[in-house]
Structure formats: structure tokens, C-alpha cells
Amino acid sequence: MIHSSFLIPLFPLVGFLILAAFGRRIGNPMAGWIATLMVLASFIVTVLVFASVAAEPASARLHVENWFTWLTAGQLSIGVGIQVDPLSLTMAMFITGISALIHCYSVGYMEHDEQFPKFFLYLNLFVFSMLMLVLGENLLITFLGWEGVGVCSYFLIAFWFTRPSAASAGKKAMIYNRVGDGGFLLALFLLIDKTHSLTFTTIFSRLSSLSSVDLAAVSLLLFVGAAGKSAQLPLFPWLADAMEGPTPVSALIHAATMVTAGVYLMCRVSPILHLAPDAGHVIAWIGVATAFIAATIGCAQTDIKKVLAYSTVSQLGYMFLAVGCGAYDAAIFLMLTHAFYKALLFLGSGSVIHAMGDEQDIKKMGSLRALMPLTSATFFIGWLSIAGVPPFSGFWAKGDVLSNAWVVSPALWVVGAFTAILTAYYMGRQYLLVFFGEPRWKETGEGSLHPHDAGWTMSMPLIVLAVLASFGGLINLPFGSHLTFLESWLAPVVGASQLHNTDSTLQLWLFGIADAVFAIGGATMALALWRNTVNRPALEPRFLSMAWFLDASIDRFIARPSSALALFGATIVDRQIIDGAVNGVAGLFKVGASKLRRVQTGYVRSYALVIIVGLVVMVAYFMIRSGL
Amino acid sequence: MGHASLVMATQMSGIAAQQHAFPFLTAIILVPVFAAVLVAAIPRDARRLIRAVTLAAAIAVLGITAAVIDLFRSADGSYQMLSNHMWAPGLGISWTVGVDGISLFLVALTSLLFPLVLAGANARQNAKSFSVWMLLLEAGCLGSFLSLDLLMFFLFFEATLIPIYFLMVNWGHEGRNRAAMKFFVYTFLGSAFLLVGAIALAFMHQNQTGVLTFDIRSLVHTHVSGTEGVLLMLAFTFAFAVKAPIWPFHTWSPDAYAEAPASASIILGGVMAKLGTYGIVRFDLELFPHATIMLAPVFLTLGVIGIIYGAMVAARQRDLKRLVAFSSLSHMGFIVIGAFALTGQSVSGAVVEMMNHGLYTAALFLLIAMIFRRTGTFEIPRLRGLQNCAPVMAGIFTLVMLASIGVPGLNGFVGEFLILAGTFSAHRWWAVVSILGVVVSAVYMLWAFQQVFHGSRDADSDAVPFRDVSTRERLVLVPLIVLIVFLGVYPKPVLDRIEPSVNQLIAHVHQVQSTGSSTVNALSPMEGK
């Protein structure tokens, strides 16, 4: 079965090609079902491959398949191929699984859209790229997938391209990511220079040829790439704008899968990070700072999707905190559970937006609990999970991250724990404003609204995800090694670089109780403050609703000066200085020539004269010099 | 010893080159010339016949080129399919043509783009003289890439100016006269330096060996001392720098690209720009390795400035063709740093990028010409919302744009990646700064795409429907799209053929550098005169 692993990325690629060729003829909803089926097939193959790999002894769970040579130059030869190991399989399985669910949801969500087939065309291309990213056997294939998902993200954010805000948001996402890509590329060049390879296994065997400065540089440059893709400080403003895309896109790309690519990359290169502990500290601190800042911003947003967007940034920050501490399995654990509950929350918000007639302002919602019982119940589970209320999945995953952070530095733990309170609070605020209180949507005069739960294509994924969000913690329970399935499963890949957390059972219980108190405390605060109140200006300061003015500052201090500089280059430097010099020289010749001959003979002749005279002089010079 | 064996190897491979009964390379150059003569003899009213003959000739050249690629021995880095005929023995000028990994794909690019241009961007009026000029231009470009005789190269290099000048003046846009004149004078001035340099080099060679020849395979062994080398190299490079163009010798290009008709813009940006960069790799590196290494930091710096400057200035253009002109300046910067970084990877990358840039630039110009045909404007602010009316065109434009930005999986990435990886290991900081260009290239391209294709069309322009690409237009674009994707996914066949020649060139450069520096001074007969 392992040799069939090429089928995993092949199915979505075939789906993409079919839709590219015949998409418009296949039409709605068949195009959507073909795309869904392709991803489902890919998921089934992944599960089968997973089963056969799991049957092997732990030390033999690495299979590299090389298909053909991509680039060669000198000593460097980079192939196209995939690497099947516990990490890549974990990623592939959750990507194809969640993607299949979201494809199914989209068939319902996008049913009235004119560009229906094109939507699924992009989605399949995205899944293919994402699978190449996580399955690639070398860093250049990872980069191929990396750019591929970035391009699909650009297409899908700007999917409703007639809206200028959507078009600009797509462009913004691509440009922010491009900044990160610059770091990624430099890391690749440094690795090529030192190890003459980009194949993971080869690089890791040649790490001794890298100095400690090189190792730190590679780690941090790759992190710059990861920060772009995974929206970490200071490269996160694009993710809030990315909410312009259709909601299933936000769920799939901008919550569950693509934005976690940076975390995957860090785990994949864990042997390098392991040798660069200082870089690890930088990553941990940027991660926890991002988690905190994004959580504060989440407290003051009024757009249902932007709350979730900043929440995603914050959760990604937790994952990088884990990575920086060397707790790679905790990072993956949180990534998986986050994929469940955040996809659930996004899809739930999509149902709400649908029911509200495309209204996204939570201040204009309210009291939907009774009208949309299924959405309300699943959203509630999502809230408890992300808040970290036991026994929902988020409790176990976030607890794992925080207890590891404590080992590295209690200061990291303090910021992380405070952020946990904020998380429970801002998600509670959102849940209460949407599903409790007065039905404020009736006030807007649109009496035509009759909110209700959506059809089965949209409800089924909600139920599946709610189950996963509730019980996802089971894959890695911290009660002895026979229950830490994920940790043991990932050990062959990240085990050697892993932080050794020697917490005793008592410590684990104490951490667990503390986490539960933070979660319930935050949730209670939300209940007390937002149960029946819609506006609390003191809790929603402009500083927070404007996202710490980061976006505005980047625009003011980087984008606009660069643009002005470019204008200066285009108008003054190019037209007046460089071209002016050329014209000036030409003019001098012209004046000289016309004085010489006393007649204005036109351009060609005077230039030709000057050139010929110059030519004779130069030929003569060289003839004399060379002794002729 | 090492030097001697290299000389032996070069000569051996020259002798051992396979003899084909059919002179493929000579035919590639002469077919368009004969076709031009033939077209000139056809009455001007027989437009269909004129077009048929022209296109048939261009396709025939493409066919012969395909045969050449097929017969090309990929592991052999030396010149292949040589043919040699003395022209003017007294002056040392000969008809010497040959192809190696460095020129092979530029010949292929030229042979491909001409039939596409003739099929897709033909002139509405005066088809006869248009066809004649196009065919002569093709012969000139191909002759430049295939000549191994320095003077013959110069003649072809110069000869391309006349047809392109008339194409611009007769079929160009409003400001064509001034733009064409500026282009002509500027490049002609550059060429003058090249001619002087070529003659001087030949005389120096004659002085050392007693043989007057312009054959570059002999001129390679000329001993050039430091100062002379630098002067000669600068004379050659000035010509190439103007042609490419390299910053700051580029100011003719936005005007020329913008005012030229689509057909001429495609050839200017796609093929003729490569005459400059090809000249650098073929002549600067091979003939003046010493001076090249010495001056490399200067040209690396100019290249990096070009990359960033071109990308930034492109972001503020209102005219689509000017935007592509500055984007080309930026991409030429990549080729320049690749060539002057002097590593196997970077030079291979530069050579492959020359072809790849030709492919996506040609596709961009074709698409822009299609937009112009429908709307009558190149002005970005006057275009909006085209994706709604023309989704297929928008899709193709997106693909080409992504290739130009350098997204992996498409052809633009291959060269850019190899250039930067190679430059990074030899001249780290230049590569680091160049990365900025990777970021900014996304800015201007996506900005232009958003302006032109996204949003909704204005109410008044809705009255005039904007057609999507026609079947005929698709046929012209398909070969380019197929190559853009194929060469992005599987560039190996190309790289395999480029690499041996590049390795030989790099070995030559470094050998002269390491062994030649002392002996050159000792042997140089010019010292002390």
C-alpha cells in the first residue's frame, strides 16, 4: 500500500485537471461532487497507507519515493518525490479529511454562485499543493507546495474579484507571503551552499558542516517564511483581510490547513532547530507575543469572521510557542485539534452568515440559539474546545503546550496562561452576541429574514467536526506512554529533537487544574459581561479594534514611503536624471556636429558622423597600441 | 599543462564534431533570407500568398531547429554542427557557424517566437514589407546566435537594427519616430564600441600569432593584459549592456517597447534583449576572463540595482507595455548577476532564464496586444474588470504572470532559483539584496492584474463588449503556455544540454584566472612597447 502513496496527491490533481478542462460543461453541482470525491479518495488512500505504515516497526517508518529529476546544476540535483513518514502522514490525513468535509459543505454553501466550478477547481488545486507541501521529500518540493497554496489562497481570497476589497485582500496576502518567501529562499540557498542538497535526510546527515551561526540563520530564515505563511508577528495583517474570501475558504485555508504550514515546516526541520537553541527562544517569544496580541485584538472585533481570524493567529502563536520550546508533538497536537474546532467555528459562522443574508456584524445578530439549534450547539462545542474547558480537545492540546513552555521559561507560561483566559473570554463574547440576547437583526427592517439551519451538505460536516472537537484529545492523553498515541507515533521524526518534559503526575494535575480554572474563568467573565449587553466601549478600545495599528503602521511607514520612492524613481531618476543624461550627451553631439558643418542635417547623419569619427580614433589608438 | 590540455580538448572536439551532409545551421540563417527575397518578388496585392510564404518559411526554420535539437549531443559541451567557409581570407573573416548548449535554446526560442508572432500579431497594412522586414530580422537574430566568427556576429548583430527600426517606424504607435530614433542611435553607438573592440582584439591576436582571424575559437587564446583586457571588455560590454538593457543603459527600452508594434515588442523583449546577455556570456566571459573576474563586482552591482530599480519603477507605470519593459529590466538584472557570479549554477540559470524570459514576455506582449486590439489602449487606469467578460484570457494572463513572478512549477522559477542559488554561494550579499526583487516583482504584477482584470467594468464601456480570446488567439498562445508549464515542471532536458557548455566555460574562466595571470604578463608582447 505504501507504494500507492503517489495516489494521495494525484487524485486532487486529476480533479483539478478535469475541472480545468470541462468544469463549465460539468457545471453545478456535479463539479463540486467530483472535486469532493477526489479528495475523499485521497483521504481513503491516506488512511490505508497510514494503516500499513503503522504496522511496521517504528524505526522503519520512513519511505522516500523519487519520481523524476527536477533541477540539476553542478553538484546540486533536486528531485520530485515524496517522503512517507509519521509526520507527513499525520498531516496528509488531517488535510484530506478536513478538506473532504469542507468540499462537501461548499457544495451547499456555494450553490448559487456563478463561478461554482471554478471554486472547486481552485480548491482541488489547493489540496494538491498542500499535499505536495507536506509530503515533499526535499525542501524545494515543500517550497513548490508552499507557493502553490499561496497562489490558491490568492485566487480564493480574491474569488469575488468584482469587489475591490476582495481583490486587494488577495493581493495583500500574496505580497505578505512573498516577504516570508524571501526568507525561505535564503534559507534554501544557505543550505545548498553548505550541504549541496535540499533532501531532508541528506541535509540532516550533513548538519555538521554548518556553523552555529549558519544553523541559527537557517532556522530564523525558515521562520521568516513560516511567519509569513502562518501569520506571525509582524506579518499577520493579511490574515484578517483574507476573510474577504468565501467562508469555506477561510475554514479550510485560513484556519485548518494552509496557515499551519509554517508549523509543519518547523517540525519538519526540527533537527536543525534542535541545534540552534537561541533561534528557538526567538521563535517561542514571537509565538507567545503573537498569541497574546492577536487575542487582545480578538476581544474588540465585531465582524464574526475577523474574531475567528485573530483567534487563528493567536492559536498559531501557541503552536510556535510549542515549536520554539522544542515541544514539536504538542505543536502538532494543537494543530490537529485546532483544525477541528476552528474549522467547526468557521463553518458555523458560514451558516450564520448565510442565515443572516450575508450580514457579518455580530452586533447585528443575536438570539439565534432557538432558530438555529444545530449551528448553536456545534458552535458552543467549538467555543468550549478553543477555550480549553475540560474534557474538550483544546484543553488537552493547549495544556500540553503550556506545560512544556513552563519547562523552558515560566515567563512564557505566564503570557500563555493569560492569553488562555482572553481566549475563553473573546470566544464567549462572540458566542453570546450571536446566539443570545435580543434578535437585533429584526431591527434593520429586513423582515424577510427567516434564519434556520442549513441542509445536510452543510450540517453533516458541522456534526462530524463537533465530534472531533469534543473527543480529539483522546489521541494524546497525558496519562502514561500507552495513552500518548500522537507522541509515540511522531517520535521517529521529532523524538530526537524533542524537549524532554519530566513533569510528575502531581505537576500535570496542577497544570490541568490551572488550565481549567483559566478557561472557566474567562468564559464566566464573558457570560457576566456580554450575556445581555451589546455595547461596552470601554472593553472595545479603538487601539484593539484597529489591531494595535499594525496594519496602518506598515502602510504608513513601509508601503507608502516605498511607493513614493518608486514614483520618484519612475519620474525623476529615470525620466530626468538617467534619460536626461543620455539626451544631454546626444544633444551635445548634435550641437557640436551642427556647428562643425554649419548645417542642420538631421539626426541620423550627425550621429553617424560623430560615431565614425570616434570609431576611427579608437581603431587608430588600438592599432598604435598593438604595434601595427 | 592544464591550459594546454584544455586547448587540446577544444580543438579535438572541434575536429571530432560530427559532419552532417546537410548544413543545418547555415540553412536556419539562409531560409528566412531567401524567403524575404521571394516575398519581395510577390506582387503586394497577393496578401494571402505573402503571408503563407512568410509563415511557411518561419515554420520551416522551426522545423530545422527541431532537427538540430534532436541531433544535438547533450553531453558535449563544445560547438557542434560546425560549418566553416572562408569569406574574406585577407581580412580573416569566415562564415563559421556552430551551436553549443549556450546558444541552442536561444536559437530555439527565436525559431519559435517568429512563427507565433507572424501568426498572431501580423500587420494589418502593407503586409509585404512587414513580412520582408520580419524575415530579415529573424535571419539577423539567428545569425547572431550561431556565428562563431566575431566579425560575422557583429554584422548580424548590427543587421538586426535595420529591420526593427523600420518595423517600429512603419507600424508603431504615436511616438514611434522619436522612440525608434533613440533606440537606433543608442544601440548603434554601443555597437561602434563593439566593432572597435573586435578589430582591436583581432589585431592583438595577429600580433601574437601572425594569423589574422575573427574566429572566436582562436581568439580565445589571445593573451590580453590587464588594462587592455579591461578596456576591450568594457567596449564589448557597452554594446551588450545597451542591447539587453542593463541599468543604467536602459532608457531607450520603455519608449521602444511602448511605441513599437506588438510584433516588434515581442521580438525586442523576447529575442533581441538576449543578444545582449548572450553576448556577455559568449564573448565577455570567454574572451576576457581576467577582466570579467576583475569587473564582476561592478556588473553584479549594476545587475542588482537593475533588479530592484526595474521592479520598483515598474510598479508606477501607467502603460502596460512600459510596465513589461521595466519588468524586463529587472529580469535582465537577474541574468546579469547570474553571468557575473561565474558559478556553474548561476551561469546555467542565466542561460535558461534567457529562454524562459523570452517565453513569458512574448506571452505577456501577445496578451497585451489582444487587450489593445479590443480596447485601443495600453493605459492601466483605463482598463478594468476584464475578467468578468474574458475569464479565459484572465486565466491565461494569470498563468503567465505567475511564471514571470517566478512561482515554482512554472518556467520563470527555474532560472531565477539557479541564478540566486549560484550567486549566493559566490557573492552572498548580492544575492541577499536581490531577494528584494522577488518580493517587489509580486507587487507590480499583482497590482497591474488587479487594475486590469479585477473589479467591474465601467457602465459606459459595458456598451462595447469585450470578447474573450478567439480560437486563433488560443492557438498562438497554446505553445507558449505548454512550454511555460512543461519547462517549469521538467526543465531537465534543457539543463542537461546547457550544463556541459557552461561547465566548460566556467572551467576556462577559472583556469585562465589561476594559471594565466602570471604567464599573460610574461608572454604579452605589448608590455613595454
**Quick check: A578 contacting B, CB < 8 Å?**
yes
CB–CB contact B200 A162 (8 Å): no
Answer left, alpha or beta for residue A547, where phi above 0 means left and psi between -120 and 50 means alpha. Answer: left
Measured between beta carbons, which residues in chain B are less than 8 angstroms from residue A570?
Answer: 312-313, 316-317
CB–CB contact B313 A569 (8 Å): yes
**Quick check: A158 contacting B, CB < 8 Å?**
yes
- Going from the first residue of chain A to its last (628 residues), give the mean pLDDT of each consecutive group of 10, the final group possibly shorter: 89 95 88 94 95 89 91 88 94 94 92 91 96 95 95 93 91 92 95 93 92 94 95 92 92 92 95 94 96 94 93 96 94 94 93 87 87 92 93 92 92 95 94 88 68 84 93 86 84 84 83 93 92 85 87 87 87 85 76 55 54 62 54
Distance (Å, whole) CA A259 – CA B177: 53
Distance (Å, whole) CA A222 – CA B514: 37
Task: Give how far B31 is from chain A: nearest CA, Å.
Answer: 31
Burial class of residue B266 in the structure, from the number of CB atoms within 10 Å of its CB (0-12 exposed, 13-18 middle, 19+ buried): buried
- Mapped onto helix, strand or coil, the DSSP state of residue B99 is strand
Residue B123 DSSP code: -
Encoded amino acid at A105, one letter? Y
Residues of chain B with pLDDT under 50: 1-17, 517-529
Measured between beta carbons, which residues in chain B are less than 8 angstroms from residue A571?
Answer: 316
Domain locations along chain B: 2-523
What ipTM is given for this predicted complex?
0.90
CB–CB contact B431 A70 (8 Å): no
Distance (Å, whole) CA A574 – CA A558: 22
Q: Which residue has the cell 557573492?
A: B427
Least CB-CB distance to B432: which of A168, A186, A611? A186
Task: Give how far B228 is from chain A: nearest CA, Å.
Answer: 9
Single out the residue of B96, B97, B72 nearest to residue B18, CA to CA. Answer: B72
With CA atoms as reference, the chain B residue closest to A69 would be: B492
Measured between beta carbons, which residues in chain A are less than 8 angstroms from residue B228?
Answer: 625
Q: How far is CA A34 from CA A23, A43, B166, in A?
A: 10, 14, 55
Mutate to test the interface with A, among B249, B342, B353, B425 (most CBs of A within 10 A): B425
Distance (Å, whole) CA A612 – CA A616: 6
Distance (Å, whole) CA B181 – CA B345: 38
Q: What is the dihedral of CA A430, A434, A440, A446, to 10 degrees?
A: 120
* pLDDT at site A325: 93
Task: Give how far A312 is from chain B: nearest CA, Å.
Answer: 25
Contacts of residues A233-237 at CB distance under 8 Å and 24 or more positions apart, as own/partner, are A233/A286, A233/A289, A233/A290, A233/A293, A234/A550, A234/A554, A235/A176, A235/A179, A235/A180, A236/A290, A236/A294, A236/A313, A236/A550, A237/A172, A237/A176, A237/A547, A237/A550, A237/A551, A237/A554
* pLDDT at site B284: 93
* pLDDT at site B223: 86
| Model pLDDT for residues B210-263, shown as the tens digit of each residue | 888 999 999 998 888 788 889 999 999 999 999 999 989 998 999 999 999 989
**Quick check: A164 contacting B, CB < 8 Å?**
yes
CB–CB contact B495 A192 (8 Å): no
* pLDDT at site A596: 54
Residues sharing a CB contact under 8 Å with residue A342, sequence separation 6 or more, in sequence order: A251, A255, A256, A308, A311, A312, A315, A382, A386
The pairing of beta strand A63-73 with beta strand B80-88 = unpaired
Residue A557 DSSP code: I
Residue B80 forms beta bridges with which residues?
Answer: B99
pTM of the full predicted structure? 0.91
Cell numbers given for B87: 569569406
| Model pLDDT for residues B377-392, shown as the tens digit of each residue | 888 888 888 888 889 9
**Please, what is the Cα angle at B391 between B390 and B394, to 5 degrees?**
90
* pLDDT at site B374: 87
Distance (Å, whole) CA B394 – CA B146: 37
* pLDDT at site A444: 64
Distance (Å, whole) CA A477 – CA B333: 56
Single out the residue of A346, A350, A409 nearest to residue A383, CA to CA. Answer: A346
Q: Assess contact for B420 and B498: CB atoms under 8 A.
A: no
With CA atoms as reference, the chain A residue closest to B432 would be: A186
Could you report how far apart the first and last alpha carbons of chain A are, in Å?
79
CB–CB contact B312 A566 (8 Å): yes
* pLDDT at site A83: 94
Interface of A with B in 175-204 (CB under 8 A): 175, 178-179, 181-182, 185-186, 188-190, 192-193
3-state helix, strand, coil in chain B (%, to 5): 80, 5, 20
Distance (Å, whole) CA B264 – CA B168: 7
What is the DSSP code string of A583-627?
HHHHHHHHHHHHHHHSS---HHHHHHHHHHHHHHHHHHHHHHHTT
CB–CB contact A193 B436 (8 Å): no
Q: Assess contact for A263 and A226: CB atoms under 8 A.
A: yes
